[in-house]
Structure 1
Amino acid sequence: MEAADLLVLLDAQQFRRLRVIENLLRERKTVSTLYWGQRYRLLYLLGLAKKMPRGALDLPAQTLRQQGLIVTGETPDQVRMTPKGEQQATQAYYQPQTRDTWTRLDLMAARQRILLAVQVTSQYAHKTKRYYPLATDLATRQAVRRWFHQAKGQSLPERLFVSLKTALEQLPEMVAEVVTALFTGYQQPGQTVDQLARKYQRTPWEIYLMQLDGLMQIAQDAQNQNHPLRSLLQPTWQSPVSRSAQQTLAAMGRGRSLEQIATARRIKPSTVREHLLEAAILMPVTAFPYDWILTPEIQHAFATALAGPIDSWQYSALPQALQERYAFFYFRLYAIWCDKRGVERA
C-alpha cells in the first residue's frame, strides 16, 4: 500500500489510528478494531491484506506527513488529513461500488474460484487439455474440479461469457477492463496487477480494489438460480460474525441472561460480552436485539449523560454512579446503536 492508498482511508475531521486500519487489513478482529472500523466506515477492509507486516503503514504515513497532507494527533498513530490532503484525496481514486457487501463473502476464496473457473472454461472451449492451471490452494482446485464436471457442456463457455459480461457492464468501463485483463485463459496469460497499474497510471492497490469490486459483482449475480457459477460460489458466502459469536447470540435469543449464557456455553462472561459487541457491529441494526439488552432505563441514563460527537464519548468521564451501575459493555453497545442509527448528540 502506497501513500496515495492510505490517504483516501483518512478523514479531514476525524483522527484515525493507523494501527486500527492495519489490523482491519490483517483481519485482527478485536472488538476495539471492529468498533473503530465501524466509526471510520472502513469495515470493508477486513482481511484484504492478511499477510501485511505490522507497521507497514508507518512509511506511507511518514511520506504523507512530509508532503503536508496529514497531521498527527495526540500520538504518532493518530492522523488526520490537512486541507491540502483533503484536496488531493478528492482527486480521481476508485471507490469500489460493492464494498459495503464485502464482509458477507469470503472474497479471497471467491477470487481464486472465479479466476480458475474462467481459465478452465476458456481452455475447455478451445479443446485444450494441456496447460498450466493457475496456482491455487487444494480446496480451490477440488471445488473447481467438482463444479466443472457438473457444469461442463457445449453451452458452458457461452453462458459463462454472457454472465461475466452482464456483471462487468454494471461497473465503470475501466474496472471491467481491469478485471478482464487479469483473467487467464486460452492463449491469454493474464496481466499482472503491476502491469495494469503502469498502464492505467494507478497504484497496484487501487487495481486490486477494482478487481475485487468486479469479482464481488460477479458473485452477487451468481446468486441467481440459473447462473453458471452459482454452485461454485455459494459456499463462499458467509456471515461476517464468527461462529462462536453466532452461538452466543442464538443462546441469548432463548431468553437467557448474560451470566446464564456464559454458564451454558462454558465461557467467561467477558467473552459473552465480546461476542455480542462483535455481532452488534457486524450485523444490520435491525438484526440485533438492542432493546433486549439496552432497556429504556439504560437508554435514558446514557442519553442524559452523553453529549457531543460519538467519538468524543469516554466511559471514564461518566459520573461515577453511572459507571458503578452500568459496565463498559453497555456504554459501548449504546454507542454502536447510536452510530448505526446515525444519532449524534449536540
Structure 2
Amino acid sequence: MADYLLALFSGRPRRIRVIEGTLQGKRTITNLFWAQNYGILPYLGADRHLSRQTYDQWLMVQAQAGNLILADQTAQLTEKGLAAQMTWQANHYQPRFGQWTWIANWQRLADRVLLAVQLVSEFAYHNRRYSPLSLPWHEKLAVRNWFLHHDGQIVSQVKTELAAVLTQLAKVDERLSNLFAYRLIGHESVGWSAMEASRQLGIQASDLFWMERDAWLFFAHSLAQSTGALTELVLPLLATTPLTSSAQQTLTAFLGGHSIEEISHARRLRVGTIREHLLQAVILLPGQLPLARLLPSQVEAKLQQQYQGPVAEWRFTPQSTDPGQEFFYFRLFQVKVMQDG
C-alpha cells in the first residue's frame, strides 16, 4: 500500500506521526483531531501492522524523489508530489467505505468468516479430511462453537446470507462482489490468488488491498444491520459505536444530564480522562453532543478573539491557573470551527 500513502498528504505540512498513528488505528485525541482536520479519518486502522521503520523509509524515499518536503516532524507534497498524487488517484481504485472502519477490525473479521465458510463448505460435501486455514486457536474455537450450535440448515443459511450481501455489493461495484466471492475458500477451491484476482478483474495488484478492505467493511456493516448465522458468528467482533466502551459510558452519563465532575466522581476517573472521552465523542460523533453544555458562550467569545485564521495554525497559549480545562475548551473550539466549515 506504500504508493497510496501519497493520498494522505497535501500541499500543506501534515504531522507525519499523526498519519502513521491513523493508519495504525491509534485513537488518541491528538490523532483523531488532526486526522479529522486532514480529512483522513476514513483511513483509521487501515494498516494496523505498519511499522515505523517501513513508514520512515518510505518518507525518505519520497523526499529523495522530490515528492515530499520533510521538516520538523511534518511533511508536505511538492508540486511533483501533487502531480504524482493526482496521477495515482486517477489510475487506481479509491477507497469508498472508510466511514465504516470503526465497525470491526476487518482483517480479523475476514479470517473468522473465511474459516467458517470453509468449514460449512466441507461439511456440505461430508468431507472431514482437509486442512483448515491457519489461524490462532481462539479463532478456530469461536468458529467451532458457532458451527456446533447450528443444525444441518447451516449450509443453506450461510449461502443465502452471503448471496444477499454480495447482491448489494455488486450494485455498488461488481468488481468488489466478484473479488469477495472468488477469494472464498471451500471444498476443492482455494480461491483466487492475488495475481489471478488482478488479472481477472483487470486491476493492478496494488489495488487489491483497498478493494478487499472495502468489501469486508461493507460486509461488516451489512451484518451489523441484520440477523442470521453469520451475524451471530461475528457479533463479538462488531462495534456498535465508534467510541471506546469507556468513552461511550461517559457520553451516556453526560447526555443523561450529569456534569463532568459528577461523572469523574462516579466512575472514579480523572476529570482529564472524562474530558478526553467527550472530545472523542465530539470528533467521532459530530452533532450528537450539545456543545453549548461543554463550551460556555462567554468562553467561546473569548476564544474567537484570541484565535483566528486556519485552525491548523493555532497554537495553544494557556492564560489561566487551570490549563487542563483551558485546553479542553481550546480543542472543543477548534473542532467546532472545523465542523462549522
Same fold (TM over 0.5): yes
- Per the alignment, residue 94 of structure 2 pairs with 95
Q: Output aligned runs, 1:328-343, within 5 Å.
A: 328-341=327-340, 343=341
Find the counterpart in structure 1 of residue 20 from structure 2.
Answer: 22
Q: Is 2:142 aligned against 1:140?
A: no
Q: Contact (CA 8 Å) 2:35, 2:41: kept in 1 or not? A: yes
2:268 to 244, 248, 266: 266
Q: What do residues 157-207 of structure 1 show as CA deviations (whole Å, max 9, x unaligned)? A: 641452243143134343334333432122222345477568866355x42
Matched, 1:121 2:123: no
Question: How do residues 1-346 of structure 1 correspond to structure 2 at under 5 angstroms?
Answer: 1-2=1-2, 4-12=3-11, 14-72=12-70, 74-75=71-72, 77-90=73-86, 91-149=90-148, 150=150, 152-153=152-153, 155-156=156-157, 158-193=159-194, 196=197, 202=204, 204=206, 206-223=207-224, 225=226, 228-238=229-239, 239-283=241-285, 285-316=286-317, 320=319, 327-341=326-340, 343=341
Gaps in structure 1 of 5+ consecutive residues: none
CA drift at 1:102: 1.2
Deviation at 1:132, TM superposition (A): 1.2
CA distance 1:325–1:155, change in 2 (3 Å): closer
TM-superposed CA distance for 1:292, in Å, is 1.0
Q: CA distance change for structure 1 residues 250 and 191 in 2, over 3 Å: closer, same or farther?
A: same
Q: Distance in 1 between matches of 2:57 and 2:30?
A: 24
Q: Is the 8 A contact 1:123 1:129 kept in 2?
A: yes
Counterpart contact for 1:151–1:228, Cα < 8 Å: no
The SS at the match of 1:80 is: strand
Higher mean displacement: 115-124 or 327-336 = 115-124
Q: Indicate the percent of aligned positions where both proteins have the same amino acid.
A: 28
Does structure 1 retain, via aligned residues, the 8 Å contact 2:14–2:76? yes
> Closer, same or farther in 2 for the Cα pair 1:63/1:194, shift >3 Å?
farther
Residue 91 of structure 2 aligns to a residue in which SS? coil
Change (3 A) 1:51 1:272: same
- In 2: Cα distance, 1:241 partner to 1:268 partner: 18
Q: TM-score, normalised by structure 1?
A: 0.84
Instruction: Report the Cα distance in structure 1 between the residues aligned to 2:213 and 2:44, rounded to whole angstroms.
Output: 13
Q: Measure the CA separation in 2 of the matches of 1:270 and 1:158.
A: 49
Report the Cα distance in structure 2 between the residues aligned to 1:27 and 1:240, rounded to whole angstroms.
12
Partner SS state of residue 101, structure 2: helix
How many angstroms apart in 2 are the aligned matches of 1:247 and 1:158?
38
- What is the distance in 2 between the residues matched to 1:325 and 1:182? 50
Give the letter for the 2:211 counterpart. Answer: M
Q: Give aligned pairs, total.
A: 334
Do the aligned residues in 2 keep the contact of 1:183 with 1:190 (CA within 8 Å)?
A: yes
Q: Which amino acid is 1:288 matched to?
A: L
Equivalents in 2 of 1:157, 1:270: separation in Å? 46
Deviation at 1:321, TM superposition (A): 7.1
- 1-structure distance, mates of 2:324, 2:27: 28
1:81 to 1:151, Cα distance in 2 relative to 1, 3 A: farther
- Output the aligned Cα RMSD: 2.9
Contact (CA 8 Å) 1:179, 1:210: kept in 2 or not?
A: no
- The alignment partner of 2:76 has SS state of strand
SS of equivalent to 1:71: strand
How far residue 218 of structure 1 moved from its aligned partner, in angstroms, is: 1.9
Letter in 1 for 2:253: A
